[in-house]
């Protein structure tokens, strides 16, 4: 028996709805496997601002640091769009959380589920066989460089140290070793100095991974290759902003943003898990949000932070069954509400584990 102690940050918009569904599934899973759940729920983003706090309240950060495992819904929305800089939910909560916890390795998968292939906007031939992950550097580059305004205009500095590139490259090569043994590093080395350093360090790390095939692509070319021959890729390694852009593009290959989980990892078992979708204010509060990405993120948390491979796999097979049986929300062809999907998956986990 293990005590699953984690920090739960539902956040804003549909974050709270998909979060409830995921907690329900975690509850059933814990009961079935004889674990206890010890959930530390805290405010973040707009919800924290509305409660008169900073976007990332001290106690939310302290809990995250203590438990080392965070399940996050989503932050932000039009209600807080008028705020500036670090008063905003994204800049004031998400970025400092990533930085403070040193969550430098962000993993986002792209593997269209067979039940969703016909729901994606691309032809079947571009989707079948696609199965890659993007390893995005998350705590460096232009996101965290010096920014400001002066009499000439505005600037955002992009900086990478050799060490920052090396540690994310190692994560990518290690992951490729567990998969199809291929790393594609994406940069803009024909223009940017940070990209030239990136490429040199990645080449150097590759010397310790002779069993892994490495190639390099420029980011502009990658935006095309990802859609036209996505099946060529295994692990795509890239810097912070290119990764931000490419992972949104990759989600188009998966039929719906509502089914893709993500992990932001540090060294050891420290990790934050969240769906790749945002707070979707347009459908918030209506029970329409697809909770599968959040439920899968919870499964990843069990696997990566608590080393519960079987528990994670059981949740994933329940999600699989929901997709094949169309026990899903309207965005992917089902007719259930957010909480009904959560109930269905929790019941499936309850029924299928002895």
The residues assigned a catalytic role are 143, 188, 220, 244, 248
User: Exposure pattern of 290-318 as b/e (b: 16+ CB <10 Å)?
Assistant: bbbbbbbbbbbbbbbbbebeebbebbbeb
- For residue 178, the 8-state DSSP code is T
Torsion of CA 100, 176, 237, 134, to 10 degrees: -80
Q: Reduced to 3 states, what is the DSSP secondary structure of residue 3?
A: strand
How far apart CA 240 and CA 112 sit, in angstroms, is 24
Q: Cβ of residue 101: shortest distance to ligand IPM, in angstroms?
A: 14
> What is the smallest separation between the CB atom of 291 and ligand IPM, expressed in angstroms?
18
How far is the C-alpha of 111 from the C-alpha of 61, rounded, in Å?
A: 32
Stretch that binds Mg ion, among 121-129, 178-186, 244-252, 310-318 (CB under 5 A): 244-252
Strand ranges (DSSP E) for the chain? 3-11, 36-41, 69-74, 105-110, 132-137, 147-150, 153-156, 182-187, 213-218, 235-238, 261-265, 271-275
Between residues 90 and 340, which has the closer beta carbon with respect to ligand IPM?
Answer: 90
- Taking the least distance from each CB to Mg ion, the nearer of 40 and 244 is 244
Q: Which two tokens stand for residue 306?
A: 């608590």
Strands 235-238 and 132-137: parallel
Smallest gap, in angstroms, from Cβ of residue 90 to ligand IPM?
4
Binding to ligand IPM (CB under 6 A) within 194-253 occurs at 244
User: In angstroms, what is the minimal distance from the CB of 134 to ligand IPM?
Assistant: 11
Beta carbon nearer to ligand IPM, 94 or 284: 94
CB 295 within 8 A of CB 21: yes
Report the residue number, 90 or 232, with the smaller CB distance to ligand IPM: 90
4: helix, coil or strand? strand
263 binds, among Mg ion, ligand IPM, none (CB under 5 to 8 A by kind): none
Dist. CA 332–CA 91, nearest whole Å = 31
Beta strands 261-265 and 271-275: pairing type?
antiparallel
Residue nearest to ligand IPM (CB): 90
Task: Output 17 or 244, the one with its CB closest to Mg ion.
Answer: 244
Interatomic CA distance for residues 117 and 128, integer angstroms: 8
Beta-strand relationship, 69-74 and 271-275: parallel
Give the one entry of Mg ion, ligand IPM, none that residue 17 binds, where binding means its C-beta sits below a cut-off of 5 to 8 angstroms depending on kind: none
Minimum Å gap between C-beta 258 and ligand IPM is 15
With CB under 6 A as the contact rule, the residue among 20, 90, 232, 343 that binds ligand IPM is 90
Residue 37 or residue 241: which is nearer to Mg ion going by CB?
Answer: 241
Q: Check binding of 244 to Mg ion (CB under 5 A).
A: yes
Q: Which of 26, 70, 94, 341 binds ligand IPM (CB under 6 A)?
A: 94
Rounded to an integer, what distance in angstroms lies between the CA atom of residue 269 and that of residue 134? 19
Q: Which does 332 bind (CB under 5 to 8 A by kind): ligand IPM, Mg ion, none?
A: none
- Report the alpha-carbon distance of residue 349 to residue 341 in Å, rounded: 12
Total residues at interface with ligand IPM (CB under 6 A): 3
- Give me the least distance between CB of 256 and ligand IPM, in Å please: 16
CB of 124 to ligand IPM, least distance (A): 27
Q: Is 325 helix (H, G, I), strand (E, B) or coil?
A: coil
90 binds, options Mg ion, ligand IPM, none, Cβ within 5 to 8 A by partner type: ligand IPM
Closest CB to Mg ion among 144 and 348?
144
For Mg ion, the binding residues (CB under 5 A) are 244
Residue ranges that bind ligand IPM, judged by CB under 6 A: 90, 94, 244
């Amino acid at each position: 028996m293990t005590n699953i102690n984690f920090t739960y940050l539902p956040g804003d918009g549909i974050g709270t709805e998909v979060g409830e569904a995921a907690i329900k599934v975690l509850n059933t899973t814990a009961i079935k496997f004889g674990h206890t759940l010890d959930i530390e729920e805290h405010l973040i983003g707009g919800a924290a601002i509305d409660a008169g706090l900073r976007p990332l309240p001290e106690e939310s950060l302290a809990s995250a640091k203590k438990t080392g495992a965070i399940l996050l819904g989503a932050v932000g929305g039009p209600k807080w769009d008028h705020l500036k800089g670090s008063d905003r939910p994204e800049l004031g909560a998400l970025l400092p959380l990533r930085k403070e916890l040193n969550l430098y390795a962000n993993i986002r998968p792209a593997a269209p589920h067979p039940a969703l292939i016909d729901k994606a906007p691309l032809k079947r031939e571009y989707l079948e066989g696609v199965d890659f992950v993007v390893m995005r550097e998350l705590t460096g580059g232009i996101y965290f460089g010096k920014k400001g305004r002066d009499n000439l205009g505005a600037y955002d500095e992009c900086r990478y140290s050799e060490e920052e590139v090396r540690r994310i490259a190692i994560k990518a090569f290690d992951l490729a070793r567990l998969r199809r043994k291929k790393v594609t590093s994406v940069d803009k080395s024909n223009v940017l100095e940070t990209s030239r350093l990136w490429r040199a360090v990645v080449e150097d790390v590759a010397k310790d991974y002779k069993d892994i095939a490495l190639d390099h692509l420029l980011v502009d070319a990658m935006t095309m290759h990802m859609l036209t021959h996505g099946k060529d890729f295994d692990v795509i390694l890239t810097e912070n902003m290119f990764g931000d852009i490419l992972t949104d593009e990759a989600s188009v290959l998966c039929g719906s943003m509502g089914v893709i989980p993500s992990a932001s990892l540090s060294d050891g078992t420290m990790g934050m898990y969240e769906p790749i979708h945002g707070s979707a204010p347009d459908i918030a509060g209506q029970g329409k949000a697809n909770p599968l990405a959040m439920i899968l993120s919870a499964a990843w948390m069990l696997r990566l932070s608590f080393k519960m491979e079987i528990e994670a796999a059981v949740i994933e097979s329940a999600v699989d069954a929901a997709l094949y049986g169309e026990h899903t929300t309207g965005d992917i062809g089902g007719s259930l509400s957010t909480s009904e999907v959560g109930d269905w998956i929790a019941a499936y986990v309850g029924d299928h584990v002895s």
